[in-house]
Amino acid sequence: MRVLGIETSCDETAASVVALDGASAPEILSNIVLSQIEEHAAFGGVVPEIAARAHVEALDGIVEAALADSAVSLDEVDAVAATAGPGLVGGLIVGLMTAKAIAAAANKPLIAINHLEGHALTARLTDGLDFPYLLLLVSGGHTQIVAVRGVGDYQRWATTIDDALGEAFDKTAKMLGLPYPGGPNVEKAAASGDAGRFAFPRPMKGSAQPDFSFSGLKTAVRQAATAIAPLSDQDVADICASFQAAVADALGDRVGRALARFRKEFPDKASPALVVAGGVAANRTIKGTLEALCSEAGFAFVAPPQKLCTDNAAMIAWAGIERLRAGMAGENAAGFVPRSRWPLDSVSAPLVGSGR
């Protein structure tokens, strides 16, 4: 089975071909990702209009490159899978319409994929995980804990009540005058900082409510920075280190709660696992905290390669394969309408063409 995947929901234009043959491990035959970071850097964040335009300009070439790289012709693919939401609607339209045109021209079925389902199933592509497992998705737009119980069977256990974690990193960086994207730059500055200098709040820590919150932490960072301005490089480093420590601590508390819940809900699961996905999962302090937490709780800690943790089309092609082989691809999704909002726990039914 070969599926061509297309991803355009945010600021990456991506295409990929993934293959699954019989009982052997799946294979990523090509995985092309064009990041628009430079186009958006001057604005300190993703500008939807610029993103949509950049997808239009790049997508055809990216799809061609993905097919060429895979040495698979369009004739040989079994289906075209494209992200249909959630995300920036301009980009979604570009990707889904392109996929519809390709599928129609090549007479192949089209599968509409939920972007979050792509993230949720990646660990089965990279590590062959069995259901159920726990997923922590921490990116620029999402902060969620999801129980992944099967294809199309997802239960969201926690989400953020305000900012996404990546967004909190990006806003903190901006306040401190660090360049976009903020996450990697905050981590770099934190390396030479004193994490004990500022006692930032650990939002939600100890709360029985499962969700995340990061806007209060952001405010605390702003107040600390304003109080000691102008900031020296050391001040910036100390704030970054203290911020990162607070985030890791708060995250650890939330995830620890979810691990305990997983044990309770799936007592028969012999080797439970926590999977991390999203750009923030690259952060070594956060990774270290989660790794320690998992080893203490007897969970395997699964972190797929960074290239497959951030937005990419291999995860979309793979989700297409998972749906095809589960008989959940739906009828041809040619009539599917892009959805800017599309919660993961609402994708259980086969996705049919009507859109809404």
Q: Check residue 311 for interaction with ligand ATP (CB under 6 A).
A: yes
DSSP 112-155: EEEHHHHHHHHHHHHH-PPSPEEEEEESSS-EEEEEEEETTEEE
Minimum separation from the CB atom of position 117 to Fe ion (A): 11
Smallest CA-to-CA distance from 108 within 353, 332, 351 is with 332
95 known ligand binder: no
Interacting positions 156-185 with ligand ATP (CB under 6 A): 166, 169-170, 181-184
115 known ligand binder: yes
> Nearer to ligand ATP by C-beta: 63 or 178?
178
Only one of the segments 36-44, 49-57, 136-144, 209-217 lies at the binding site for ligand ATP (rule: CB under 6 A); that segment is: 136-144
Minimum separation from the CB atom of position 260 to ligand ATP (A): 26
Positions that interact with Fe ion (CB under 5 A): 139, 311
How many beta carbons lie within 10 A of that of residue 7, not counting itself?
A: 31
Minimum separation from the CB atom of position 179 to ligand ATP (A): 11
> Nearer to ligand ATP by C-beta: 70 or 244?
244
Instruction: Give me 38's structure tokens.
Output: 């430079």
Angle (deg, nearest 10), helices 165-175 and 233-265: 170
Minimum separation from the CB atom of position 254 to Fe ion (A): 19
Give the contact letters, 274-293, x = binds to ligand ATP (CB under 6 A), - = no: ----xxx-xx----------
Minimum separation from the CB atom of position 193 to Fe ion (A): 28
156: Cβ contacts below 8 Å, ≥ 6 apart: 144, 145, 146, 343, 344, 345
> Nearer to ligand ATP by C-beta: 220 or 247?
247
Instruction: Give the containing element (helix H, strand E) for 111.
Output: strand 110-114
Q: Report CA 309 to chain centroid distance, whole Å.
A: 6
137 known ligand binder: yes
> Nearer to ligand ATP by C-beta: 150 or 179?
179
Minimum separation from the CB atom of position 335 to Fe ion (A): 25
- Residue 115, classified by CB atoms within 10 Å of its CB into exposed (0-12), middle (13-18) or buried (19+), is buried
Q: Check residue 140 for interaction with ligand ATP (CB under 6 A).
A: yes
Residues 182-219, buried b or exposed e (16+ Cβ, 10 A)?
bbebbbebbeebebebbebebbbeeeeeebbbbeebbe
Residue carrying the six token digits 């335009």? 53
Positions that interact with Mg ion (CB under 5 A): 10-11, 311
| Binding site members for Fe cation | 115, 119, 311
| Binding site members | 115, 119, 137-141, 170, 183, 187, 283, 311
Interacting residues toward ligand ATP by CB under 6 A: 9-11, 87, 139-142, 166, 169-170, 181-184, 187, 278-280, 282-283, 310-311
